[in-house]
Amino acid sequence: MTKLFSKLRIVLAALMLLALAAFSYPVAAQQQPSSVNPQADSVNEQQLLQQFKTIQGRGSIPDTKSYTIEQPAGRDWRHFHEVTLRWIGAVAILGVLAVLIIFYLSRGMVRIESGRSGHTIVRFNAAERFVHWMTATCFIILALSGLNITFGKPLLLPLMSPEAFTAWSEWAKYAHNYLSFPFTLGVILIFFMWIAGNIPNRVDVEWFKRGGGMVGHDHPPAERFNGGQKAVYWIVVLGGTAAAVSGYALIFPFYGTDIENMQSATMVHGIIAMLFIAAMLGHIYIGTIGMEGAFEAMGEGTVDINWAKEHHALWLEQERARAESNPSQRQPAATPGE
C-alpha cells in the first residue's frame, strides 16, 4: 500500500509541475518580445565622461580617492610625462648647453681687460655666501634627482642593474623631498637679502641695450647687480617659489587636492624645473669659466678692484663714496649694501 501511495505522489507532483509550466509559459512569452529596459534612465559611461571628464560615485571604504572609477586624463598625463616633458627638458637644457659651448668657443673667457690690480673689495659677506651655497647645493641635488625621474629610465637604467637603479632612485627621491626645505628657505632668504639691489631700473635698460658687455669689449655701467644678475635673481625667486609651491602640493599628496590638481602640480613642477635648470646653467657658466674674476665674488667674497671697475662701475663708486664718508673702515664697506 505504501508503495502505491508513494508512486501516486510522484505522478501527482509531476502533473502539478506540468500544469505550473503550462500556466507560466504565456507570461514568460509575453515578456520576451517587448522587453522594457529597466536601466533606461541610468547613467551612461560615455555621457558621464563627456560631461565631467571623470566618473565619480560613492563607495563604502574610507579612501575617497577610490570613488573616482575612471579618469581617462591619466593617458594625457602619461603623454606629457613620457614625451612632452622630455622634449621640453632636452631642448631647454641641451639648447642652453649648445649656446654656451658655441659662445665659449667663439668669445672665450671674458678677461679683466686692465689686468688685476692686486687690491680687492668685499662683494659678498659670509652670510650672503652661506645662503648662496646652501641654496646652490640643494638646487644641484634637487636638479639631478629630479632629472632622474624624467630621464633616468632611458639614460641611466640601461647602464646598471634594475636593483641598483631602484636603490639610487629611492635615495634620490628622499633627498629630493627633504632638501626641498633648505632650498625653499634659501629662496626666501635670497629674496629678502638681495631684493633692494634687484629692482629693475633705467641702468638695466641701457645695460641690456649694450648687450651686457658680453659681445665685443664694451663695459656698460652697472650698480651692485647688473641687468643679467637681476634676471637671475628673479628667475630664482619666482622660479623657486613656483617650484616650491607645486612641489609641496606633491609632497603632501591629496591634501585638499584631487587627482586633476595632482597631475597639474607635476606638470607645472616639471616644466618650471626644466627651464630653471637651463637658466642656472647659464648662471653657472658666467660665474665660473665664462668670466675671469667672477667666481671669487661668491668664493672668497672679494673681487679685484679692476674687475669691479669694468663690470660694476656704479657700485664701486658708491662703495668708495661710502668708505670716504666713514673713514673708520679701511676696506670700502664690509657689508656692501644698498
Partner 1 sequence: MARMKFLCDADRCIECNACVTACKNENEVPWGINRRRVVTINDGKPGERSVSMACMHCTDAPCQAVCPVDAFYTTADAVVLHSKDICIGCGYCFYACPFGAPQYPRVGNFGSRGKMDKCTYCGGGPEQDSTMAEYEKYGANRLAEGKLPLCAEMCSTKSLLAGDGDIIAQIYKERVVKRGYGSGAWGWKTAYRETITS
Interacting residues with partner 1 (CB under 8 A): 35, 37, 39-46, 48, 55-61, 63, 65-75, 77-78, 81-82, 148-150, 152-153, 157, 162-163, 165-166, 169-170, 173-174, 176-178, 251-254, 259, 262-263, 266
Residue 35 or residue 325: which is nearer to partner 1 going by CB?
A: 35
Cβ neighbors of 73 (< 8 A, separation 6 or more) are 53, 54, 260, 263
Q: What 3 state SS string does 147-172 have?
A: HHHHHHHHHCHHHCCHHHHHHHHHHH
Q: Of 243, 294, 251, whose CA–CA distance to 269 is shortest?
A: 243
Cβ proximity to partner 1: between 11 and 61 the closer is 61
| Smallest gap from residue 145 Cβ to partner 1 (A) | 11
Shortest Cβ 249–partner 1 spacing (Å): 12
Phi, psi torsion values for 324, nearest 5 degrees: -70, -40
> Of the two residues 63 and 324, which places its CB atom closer to partner 1 in the complex?
63
β-strands 120-122, 55-56 pairing: unpaired
SS3 state of residue 265:
helix
Nearer to partner 1 by C-beta: 258 or 317?
Answer: 258
> Beta-carbon neighbour count of residue 121 at 10 Å?
23
Distance of closest approach, residue 149 Cβ to partner 1, in angstroms? 5
Q: How far is the CB of 267 from partner 1 (least distance, A)?
A: 10
Nearer to partner 1, 151 or 191 (CB): 151
Query: How many whole angstroms from its chain centre is CA 109?
Result: 31
Enter the DSSP assignment of 64: G
Give CA–CA dist 12/5, Å, rounded: 10
Minimum CB distance to partner 1, residue 45 (Å): 5
Please report how close the Cβ of residue 297 comes to partner 1 at its closest, in angstroms. 36
Nearer to partner 1, 261 or 288 (CB): 261
